[in-house]
């Protein structure tokens, strides 16, 4: 890993994590600083299936999907740093802590998700992250989460 910040477009994201529509919740990941931090970008659009029922006439992105988008950003960050493209990486939530929602996220918003590694090391299975999701600089969600990396056998 060099000192140069890396990024992942949608094609690389899909080569790292198995999520697909309607549950792929990050469009690109930028400013990947090794295992330390990254920023995910999610363009929120009206055609996403959760808006049909959450809520009719007042579409709001469910908070749990914001937390999931933060986790997907962290998984891509670690996947890029570990060169996991096309390696069948699976990542599972173990816990979500200190989760707070501060602003509604609605169609037309661009969700910016900054994640940082709190604990974890290359080759390790259990990682802890902190994340903050914002829209136009205004906090929408903050949380800490722990995930297990199901690393493929060599």
Asked if 141 and 132 count as a contact pair (C-beta separation under 8 A), the reply is yes
Active-site pick, 19, 50, 54, 103: 54
Residue for token pair 């740093």? 81
The token pair that represents 143 in the structure block = 């949380």
CB environment 98-123: b (16+ within 10 A), e (fewer): ebebeeebeeebebbbbbbbeebeee
- Please tell me the distance from the alpha carbon of residue 84 to that of residue 146, in angstroms, as a whole number: 19
DSSP annotation string for 67-110: HHHHHHHHHHHHHHHTT-TTS--EEEEEEEEEEEE-S---TT-E
**Whether residue 19 lies in the annotated active site:** no
Residues tagged active-site: 54
């Amino acid at each position: 890993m060099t000192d140069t910040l890396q990024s992942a477009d949608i094609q690389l994201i899909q080569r790292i994590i198995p999520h697909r529509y309607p549950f792929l919740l990050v469009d690109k990941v930028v400013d990947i600083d090794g295992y330390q931090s990254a920023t995910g970008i999610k363009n929120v659009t009206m055609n996403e299936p959760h808006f049909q029922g959450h809520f009719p006439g007042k579409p709001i992105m469910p908070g749990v999907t914001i937390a999931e988008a933060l986790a997907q950003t962290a998984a891509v960050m670690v996947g890029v740093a570990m060169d996991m493209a096309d390696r069948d990486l699976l990542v599972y939530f173990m816990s979500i802590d200190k989760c707070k929602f501060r602003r509604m996220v609605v169609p037309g918003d661009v969700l910016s998700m900054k994640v940082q590694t709190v604990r974890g090391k290359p080759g390790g299975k259990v990682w802890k992250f902190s994340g903050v999701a914002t829209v136009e600089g205004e906090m929408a969600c903050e949380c800490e989460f722990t995930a297990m990396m199901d690393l493929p056998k060599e």
